[in-house]
Structure 1
Amino acid sequence: MNHAQLSDVPGGSIPADPVLLGRIRNLLLRDTNIVVISVVLNNLMRAVSSVLLTRLLVPEVFGITGIISSIAFTVGMMSDLGFQGFVIRHPDGDKPRFLDTIWTMQVLRSVMVTVAILAAAPAIAALLGKHDLEIVIIVSTLSFLIDGVASITMLTALRHRMILRLSLLELAVLTLQVLLSVVFAYFWRSYWAILAAGMISSAFKTLLSYLVFSNSLRRPALDRGYIKDLWGFARFVTGSSIITLFLLQGDKLVLARLMPLDQFGIYMLAVNLAGAPLAFAWGYASRVLSPYYAQAWRDGMPDLRGLFYAKRRLPSLLYSFAAGGLIGSAPLIIAILYDPRYADAAIYLQLLSISSLLALPSNSANEALTATGYVSLMFQSNVTKFIGILIAGLIGFNVWGVLGLVTAVGLIEIPPLIFKWFRLRQVGLLDLRKELLFLAASIPGVAIGAAGDWLLRPMFA
Structure 2
Amino acid sequence: MADTMTSLAPRRFGIGNRLRGLVALAMIDTNIVVASVILANLLRAVSSVVLTRLLLPEAFGIAGIIASISFTAGMMADLGFQPFVVRHADGDRPHFLDTVWTVAILRSLAITVALIALSQPIANLLGKPDLQLLIAVASLGFLIDGIASPTLITALRHRMILRLTTLELGVAVFQLAVSVALAFLWRDYWAILMAMLAAGVLKTCLSYIAFPDSSRRLALDRGYVRELWKFARFVAGSSLITIFSMQTDKWILAALMPLDEFGFYILAVNLASAPIAFAAAYPSRVLYPYCAQVYRERAQDLRRLFYAKRQLPSLIYCFAAGGLVGTAPVVIAILYQPAYAGAATYLQLLAIAPMFALSTASANEALVASGRVQATFYTSVARLLWLVTALPVGYLIGRELGLVAAVGLMEPAILLFKWAQLRAARLLDLGAEATFLLAGGAGVFTGSVIDYILRHAHLV
TM-score (norm 1): 0.97
1:198 aligned onto 2:196: yes
| Among candidates 39, 45, 52, match of residue 54 of structure 1 | 52
For residue 248 of structure 1, what is the aligned residue in structure 2? 246
| Among candidates 418, 424, 436, match of residue 420 of structure 1 | 418
1:215 aligned onto 2:213: yes
Deviation at 1:230, TM superposition (A): 0.4
Quick check: 1:62–1:268 contact (8 Å CA) kept in 2?
yes
Give the alignment of 1:303-318 within 5 angstroms.
Answer: 303-318=301-316
CA distance in 2, matches of 1:9, 1:278: 51
Deviation at 1:8, TM superposition (A): 8.3
Quick check: 1:9–1:15 contact (8 Å CA) kept in 2?
no
Residues 1:451 and 1:6: Cα distance change in structure 2 (over 3 Å): farther
- 1:360-389 Cα distance to aligned partner (Å, 9 max, x none): 000001110001111111111111111111
CA distance in 1, matches of 2:424, 2:442: 32
For residue 71 of structure 1, what is the aligned residue in structure 2? 69
Quick check: 1:336–1:460 contact (8 Å CA) kept in 2?
no
CA distance in 1, matches of 2:36, 2:57: 29
For residue 39 of structure 1, what is the aligned residue in structure 2? 37
| Among candidates 331, 334, 339, match of residue 332 of structure 2 | 334
For residue 148 of structure 1, what is the aligned residue in structure 2? 146
Give the aligned residue type for 2:15: D
Quick check: 2:80–2:232 contact (8 Å CA) kept in 1?
yes
Q: Which shows bigger deviation, 170-179 or 341-350? A: 341-350
SS in 2 for 1:401: helix
Give the alignment of 1:270-285 within 5 angstroms.
Answer: 270-285=268-283
CA distance in 1, matches of 2:298, 2:106: 36
| Among candidates 82, 85, 88, match of residue 87 of structure 1 | 85
For residue 454 of structure 1, what is the aligned residue in structure 2? 452
Give the alignment of 1:54-453 within 5 angstroms.
Answer: 54-453=52-451
CA distance in 2, matches of 1:22, 1:459: 46
Quick check: 1:274–1:353 contact (8 Å CA) kept in 2?
yes
Quick check: 2:60–2:266 contact (8 Å CA) kept in 1?
yes
SS in 1 for 2:410: coil
CA distance in 2, matches of 1:355, 1:415: 10
Deviation at 1:51, TM superposition (A): 0.4
SS in 2 for 1:300: helix
Quick check: 2:294–2:301 contact (8 Å CA) kept in 1?
no
- 1:391-425 Cα distance to aligned partner (Å, 9 max, x none): 11110101110000000000111332211211111
SS in 2 for 1:17: helix
Residues 1:14 and 1:159: Cα distance change in structure 2 (over 3 Å): closer
Deviation at 1:460, TM superposition (A): 5.0
Residues 1:5 and 1:179: Cα distance change in structure 2 (over 3 Å): farther
Quick check: 1:147–1:202 contact (8 Å CA) kept in 2?
yes
- 1:74-130 Cα distance to aligned partner (Å, 9 max, x none): 000000000001001111111111100000000000000011001111110000000
Deviation at 1:5, TM superposition (A): 7.5
CA distance in 1, matches of 2:96, 2:159: 19
Give the aligned residue type for 1:352: L
Residues 1:200 and 1:460: Cα distance change in structure 2 (over 3 Å): farther
CA distance in 2, matches of 1:7, 1:308: 48
Q: Percent identity?
A: 56
Quick check: 1:75–1:113 contact (8 Å CA) kept in 2?
yes
TM-score (norm 2): 0.97
- 1:266-313 Cα distance to aligned partner (Å, 9 max, x none): 000000000000110111000000000111111234321101100000
Residues 1:120 and 1:447: Cα distance change in structure 2 (over 3 Å): same
- 1:302-331 Cα distance to aligned partner (Å, 9 max, x none): 321101100000000000000011111111
Quick check: 1:88–1:159 contact (8 Å CA) kept in 2?
yes
CA-atom RMSD in angstroms: 1.6
CA distance in 1, matches of 2:3, 2:325: 54
Residues 1:6 and 1:393: Cα distance change in structure 2 (over 3 Å): farther
- 1:156-177 Cα distance to aligned partner (Å, 9 max, x none): 0011111000100000000000
CA distance in 1, matches of 2:418, 2:225: 29
SS in 1 for 2:298: coil
CA distance in 1, matches of 2:391, 2:259: 21
Unaligned runs of 5+ residues in structure 2 are none
Q: How many residue pairs end up in the alignment?
A: 457
Give the aligned residue type for 1:459: H
| Among candidates 20, 23, 26, match of residue 24 of structure 2 | 26
Q: Which shows bigger deviation, 66-75 or 443-452? A: 443-452
Q: Which shows bigger deviation, 408-417 or 258-267? A: 408-417
Quick check: 1:320–1:357 contact (8 Å CA) kept in 2?
yes
CA distance in 1, matches of 2:230, 2:58: 43
CA distance in 2, matches of 1:139, 1:217: 27
Give the aligned residue type for 2:99: T
Residues 1:260 and 1:9: Cα distance change in structure 2 (over 3 Å): farther
SS in 2 for 1:106: helix
Residues 1:14 and 1:102: Cα distance change in structure 2 (over 3 Å): closer
Residues 1:137 and 1:9: Cα distance change in structure 2 (over 3 Å): farther
Give the aligned residue type for 2:188: S
CA distance in 2, matches of 1:214, 1:410: 42
CA distance in 1, matches of 2:208, 2:366: 31
